Homo-oligomer: A and B are copies of this chain.
């Protein structure tokens, strides 16, 4: 079941850059987290908040992520981020982001996340547990 690639375009902001004049690398992870959400929102037509209401879930926390930085980006650069779910298991799933600048691959990121729900009787926010990714969501992410 191949999945659609979702593309986000953005301009690098002054406040995302460090004294070297280039993106402070933790900001890339913020961009990629937003890109993962944008992928789900594009597919479902729902914001993350609306997804919480619709699917009774509690997010898709990160289990493992890795990024490679090949070309530095500076403020004012216009980049695109291409985001693809590469594999979905029962509740775990894998995402790849390719951030491109002028068509060249500048940063690549790999994510392993898990779809979680929260026990309504549980007030401790650290007590979450995995639940299956809804079939409806996977269907909407898939290339038809």
A residues sitting closer than 8 Å to B (CB atoms) are 11, 13-15, 17-22, 24-27, 29-30, 33-34, 37, 47-50, 58-59, 61-69, 71-78, 125-126, 128
Main SS at interface, chain A: mixed
In the bound complex, CA of A13 to CA of B59 (Å): 13
Least distance between A95 CB and chain B CB atoms (Å): 13
- Chain B minimum-CB-distance residue to A33: B15
Chain B residues contacting A19 (CB-CB under 8 Å) are 14, 17-21, 74-75, 125
* 18 residue pairs from A and B, CB less than 8 Å apart: A13-B33, A13-B37, A14-B33, A14-B34, A14-B48, A15-B18, A15-B30, A15-B34, A19-B75, A20-B58, A21-B126, A47-B76, A49-B75, A61-B72, A63-B68, A72-B128, A73-B126, A74-B126
Is B62's CB under 8 angstroms from A125's CB? no
List the 10 shortest-distance A-B pairs measured between CB atoms, nearest first. Answer: A21-B125, A49-B76, A47-B76, A66-B66, A26-B29, A19-B21, A72-B126, A25-B62, A26-B30, A64-B68
Docked-complex contact B18 and A18, CB < 8 angstroms = yes
- Complex CA gap A75/B25 in Å reads 16
CA distance A34 to B58 in the complex (A): 27
